[in-house]
Amino acid sequence: MTGGYDRDFLRARLELPSPPAATVLLDYIHFSVRLRPSRKLAAVVGVNIHGRELVPLAREGTWHFDPRVPKEQQAGPDVYKNNAFDRGHLVRRLDPVWGDPATAKAANQDTFAFTNAAPQVDDFNQGKELWVGLENHVLNHADLNDAKLSVFTGPVLADDDLPYRGVQIPRKFWKVAAWTTDGKLAAAGFVLDQSPLLGKVDLKKAIRERLLADEPPPLGPFRTFQVPIAQIAELTGLSLSRLENADRLVKSQRSLGKEPLAVRLESLEQIRL
What is the structure's pLDDT at 194?
A: 81
Q: What H or E segment, with its residue span, contains residue 104?
A: helix 101-110
How far does Cα 56 stand from its chain's mean position? Answer: 21
Residues 148-202: pLDDT tens digits?
A: 999 999 999 999 898 888 999 998 999 999 999 888 999 999 998 887 643 454 4
How confident is the model at residue 197, as a pLDDT?
Answer: 42
Q: In CATH, what class is 24-270?
A: alpha beta
Name the residue among 261, 3, 30, 49 with its Cα closest to residue 149.
49
Q: State the 10-residue block means of pLDDT for the chain, 273 residues long.
A: 87 94 97 98 97 88 96 95 86 93 96 95 66 81 76 95 90 93 90 66 56 58 89 96 96 90 90 88
* Residues written for the chain: 273
Cα-based torsion angle of the residue sequence 238, 239, 240, 245 in order, rounded to the nearest 10 degrees? 150
Say if pTM beats, i.e. exceeds, 0.85.
yes
What does the domain layout of the chain look like in residue ranges?
Answer: 24-270
